[in-house]
Amino acid sequence: MGSPIPPGASARRLAPAPENVVAARRFVRSVLDGLAPDVVETAELLTGELVTNAVVHARTGIEVEAWTVEGQAHVRVSDHRPDHGLVPHVRHLYASTGRGLALVEELATSHGVHSGEDRKTVWFEVWPEAPAPPPSAWETVAPPGRTVTVTLNDVPYALYWAAQQQWEGLLRELLLARPGTSWTGVSPEDHAVAQDTSGMICASMTAAVEQETPDSSTLSLRVAFAADAAPRIATLRRVLDAADTAAQQESLLALPPLPHIRAFRHWLLDQITGQLLGGQPTSWTQVTGAPGANPTDLAPWDASEVEAALVPTVAADDTNRIVAVNDAASGLLGWPAHDLVGRPLTVLMPEHLRRRHVTAFTSLLLTGESRILGRPIPVPALHRDGRVVPIRLTIQTQEAIDGRTVFVAQLTMTTAPPAPPDTPGDVRPATRPVPGPVHLPTTTKKAKTLSTETAAPEWLSLFADTGMALTSTLDPEERLRRVCHVLTRNLADWCAADLVDEQGRLERVCVVHRDPHAPVSEAHLGTLPPASGATQSSLLRVVRGAGPLLVTDISPPDDPQSPLDARQRDLVRQLGASSAVVAPLRAESAVFGALTMVRTDAGRPFAKEDVPLIAELVRAVALGVDNARLHQHARSNAEHLQRALLPELPRADRLELAARYVPSSTTAEVGGDWYDAFTLPGGDIVLVIGDVSGHDLQAAVAMSTLRNMLRGIAVDRQEPPEEVLRRLDLASQTLNPQFTATCVYGLVKSDAHTTYLHYSSAGHLPPLLTTEEGGTRYLDAGRGLLIGMDPQLPRRSAWELLPPHSTLLFFTDGLIERRGESLDEAMSRLRRSTAALARAPLDVFCDELILRFGRDTTDDIALLALRPGPPA
């Protein structure tokens, strides 16, 4: 354990108090005075780390010994808890705890630990111009007494490391904030138990991970814990919950956990406690109900995934700084990607939204509670040239393997203004580029990787044949069938492919056997039954983000716990399976299906060594199938159709116009809502808002036809609004008798002093007029039947004076209608909102209405606003 102590060695005994860390550093500096400055500074730093560990974890008297030998520094730090071993940590650049031993490993010339009967001693030596530090020489202490093995299925390792670091930070802050008191409701005794239990869990988890090779985004671990640890783990859970509350009240320097980290921590501690008391394991992928607790994608965040995405994507860290941008986002917002990285996220927001974002982001970090994570929010983004780009923003959190939480934002365009004539069109192919590899964290083992040098020739042939199957057709389901045929010729006896449909249901696309004449019952194909919360189905776990999973014990239960389990039992019995690998089909941070490969020969089962190669193979299959799915979507050109139908607003003296369109977040990207604005030959401005029944491509086509007919009728004779709507009704009944629609048609007549609105309504919600002083009134005169009901009935119109600086709002029902709320209540709510925004700039007025009313809408939203200026 190092050189013997010479007669001139010095020692200092210290109490386990935080302030004695400084005393220990000063003592070592005084003993080593005269050595090279870098040796003294390194020894002083390492002493501080080891004494801090002793104060936090041992909580006994501490003895520090130091001496010099021929220019070398020798230091020992001892405590009186030899049974409390060192807790090894995975090194993370952004970790707030667990750096002490890592620094000793990195900076000391040699180091080690010795545990005797009554003390534990950690020692190190620092030499001038020493060779590279040796590998770790720490010894750890196994849990004393009897142990119980706990099964933890589908643990997302990146989320586990983040949760561990976060709770260690909370425990450290509880110790250092107000030592010796119970101001948080946590007694010093309970805190000591929690600290020891945390170290025990970390050591046990690290030992379990060392036995695994992380081949996927999740690990299924068998972890040995002390059999009598359940009460101590319950104490740890209670202490951490109290620390959460203190952190939310800003009583600690540590931030509270985000919702998904808190949910994972609760699951982990409850699983350990429950199984120690005889309970059955529940996979993390079966957790439901908590925000972010059951993400489809459990993979760690990696910048290459952002860069490979086709959807405009921006990632920011917890300091609100941009850390990754893809080409789609930089093209949408007019910024080179390298110019955005490192900038604050607010650079992409209009000025009036920046303070709101900073307030919401700060609140999220301080409270751990979110109002927008995972929910699509319609907001405007700021183009580099100052233009506003309407988007729907969806933010998710992901844990990086270096310990950070990253906020990944996808920006989906809701409308697109006409591009300038010199702007090139969007010519990107409807395929996803291949993202780079994610480097998995390991402790003492090195992760296996696939390469042409190490892979057997049969594997290389399998990869080549699979690639040919993927490029032989553009149909995604047919691609899967052909891939399954290749896999059954080279890898498995049976292969099944499942896809997740738009409603989240599992659809079994194919079941393929090596023998093409082997019968496959039609009952195994088609939509699979839903799974109950009690299912332990490997397929369901994979679809929820786990895997690839190696299944060696697949004897089906006689009493299945859910209809899905029963369906799988019948299939396994027909296949005669002895082992299987179930792998996720994952693309664009989402699992869209699964491949199940089965072997029937018990003498040749799938082995653990097969899983990394299968994972890499299925990753390529997923990319090929997803590109085929993208090709199918691209053929519809739905988004381009919607963009083409949105008009460029006219310009007029004394009149300001603004419009917004937000498609439904739960249906197709096109629908029947529309707005229009154009100038007639006589100088009057036409304002139109309308809604064709339906929310699909047919409704969009009908809307386009109706809009174009209205434009032609309005320009042809320039008649009063009621006559324009009558003629439109007649044309619609003749050309599209199966559709009905609502519409408001208005003529804005303006001179140097006054502005009037002459309007007629066909069953649509009335326009809302808001004065500069905040007075509000719905313009409900001029009402008539829907378009498509009876073109022979007479229609009415009405006139309205529009005061200077007032705001006229045309809108569709998607803005205000919500399930469970009456229309009168919704319209009153809109009046209150416009009154509060009466003096806001018109763009801000529209943006705020979309923000307030557009969240979680199940319908399209269109709105058109006009504001007269002061008299000339």
Block mean pLDDT (10 aa), the chain, length 872: 63 91 95 92 94 89 93 93 74 63 86 87 88 60 76 87 88 74 75 89 85 71 90 94 88 85 92 93 77 55 79 89 92 90 92 88 81 81 90 84 82 58 42 53 41 59 82 84 88 90 86 81 80 71 84 69 75 81 84 90 85 87 83 58 75 91 63 88 94 74 86 91 94 85 94 92 96 95 89 91 97 88 92 96 94 79 94 81
Q: Given phi > 0 = left and psi -120 to 50 = alpha, else beta, which region is 70?
A: left
Rounded-to-integer distance, Cα 633 and Cα 174, Å: 53
**Main-chain phi, psi angles of 13, to 5 degrees:** -95, 135
- Would you tell me how many other CB atoms lie within 10 Å of the CB of residue 853? 22
Gyration radius from the chain CA atoms:
33
Residue 220: strand, helix, or coil: strand
**Residue found by looking up tokens 């989906």 in the block:** 412
DSSP code of residue 55: I
**Which residues have a Cβ under 8 Å from the Cβ of 417 and sit 6 or more positions away?**
387, 646, 648
- CA distances in angstroms from 541 to 13, 128, 154, listed in the order given: 54, 54, 8
Confirm if 310 and 630 have CB atoms less than 8 A apart.
yes
Triad 818, 820, 825: Cα angle to 5°: 70
pTM beyond 0.75: the answer is: no
- Position 706, amino acid: L
How far is CA 712 from each of CA 193, 198, 380, 705, 753, rounded to the nearest angstrom?
A: 80, 74, 32, 11, 30
Q: How far apart are CA 161 and CA 543, in angstroms?
A: 23
Nearest 5°: phi and psi at 307?
-65, -30
CA-to-CA dists, residue 58 to 52, 120, 199, 803, angstroms: 10, 10, 11, 76
Instruction: Report the alpha-carbon distance of residue 411 to residue 312 in Å, rounded.
Output: 5
Alpha-carbon distance of 390 to 429, in angstroms, equals 23
In the block, which residue shows the tokens 């096109």? 670
Residue 105 burial (CB count, 10 A) = 18
Q: Are 345 and 335 spatial neighbours (Cβ–Cβ below 8 Å)?
A: no
Instruction: Classify burial at 351, counting beta carbons within 10 Å of its beta carbon; exposed 0-12, middle 13-18, buried 19 or more.
Output: exposed
Query: Taking the mean position of all CA atoms in its chain, how far away is CA 599?
Result: 35
User: Which run of H or of E encompasses 567?
Assistant: helix 563-575
Supply φ then ψ for residue 347, to 5 degrees: -65, -20
- pLDDT at residue 26, as a whole number: 95
Adjacency order of strands within the sheet including 405-413: 322-325, 313-316, 405-413, 388-399, 377-382
The burial of 280, by beta-carbon neighbours within 10 Å (0-12 exposed, 13-18 middle, 19 or more buried), is given as exposed
* Tokens representing residue 349 in the block: 């927001």
123 with 2: CB under 8 angstroms?
Answer: yes
Residues 6 or more apart whose CB falls under 8 angstroms from that of 453 comprise: none
Q: Are 291 and 259 in contact (CB under 8 A)?
A: yes
Q: Rounded distance, CA 512 to CA 510, Å?
A: 6
- Beta-ladder partners of 399: 405
How many whole angstroms separate alpha carbon 139 and alpha carbon 333? 54
Tell me which amino acid residue 40 is.
V
CA distance 82 to 98: 19
Return all residues near 200 (Cβ < 8 A) that are at least 6 apart: 143, 225, 226, 229, 232
* 869 and 656 Cβ atoms separated by less than 8 Å: yes
CA distances from 52 to 15, 147, 162 (A): 12, 30, 22
The partner residues of 373 in beta bridges, in order of sequence, read 395
Backbone angles phi, psi at 809, to 5 degrees: -120, 120
DSSP helix/strand/coil, 794: coil
Tell me the three state secondary structure of residue 419: coil
| 765 CB neighbour count, 10 Å cutoff | 23
d(CA 606, CA 604): 7
Residue 3 has a pLDDT of 45
Q: Which pLDDT score, from 0 to 100, does residue 534 have?
A: 58
Q: Which two tokens stand for residue 77?
A: 């730090």
Please give the pLDDT value at position 770. Answer: 97
CA distance 544 to 310: 23
The C-alpha angle with vertex 325 and arms to 319 and 326, in degrees rounded to 5, equals: 160
First to last CA, the chain: 92
| Per-residue pLDDT at 418 | 40
State how far the Cα of 584 lies from the Cα of 295, in Å rounded to an integer: 14
Residue 784 contacts residue 793 (beta carbons within 8 Å): yes
DSSP 46-91: HHHHHHHHIIIII-S-EEEEEEEETTEEEEEEEES-TTS-------
| CA 118 – CA 314 distance, rounded (Å) | 55
- Reply yes or no: is the peptide bond before residue 548 cis, omega within 30 of 0: yes
One-character DSSP codes across 100-119: HHHHHHHH-SEEEEEE-SS-
Q: Which helix (H) or strand (E) holds 543?
A: helix 538-543
CA angle 651, 657, 661 (to 5 degrees): 120
Q: What is the pLDDT of residue 132?
A: 61
What is the Cα–Cα distance from 311 to 327, expressed in whole angstroms?
Answer: 9
Query: Cα-flanking dihedrals φ and ψ of residue 234, to 5°?
Result: -60, -40
Find out whether 154 and 546 touch, Cβ atoms under 8 Å. Answer: yes
Is 679:685 a contact under the CB 8 Å cutoff? yes
Q: Are 93 and 100 in contact (CB under 8 A)?
A: no
CB 393 within 8 A of CB 377: yes
Distance in angstroms (rounded) separating the CA atoms of residues 349 and 307: 21
CA 341 to chain centre: 19
Cβ-contact 770, 729 below 8 angstroms: no
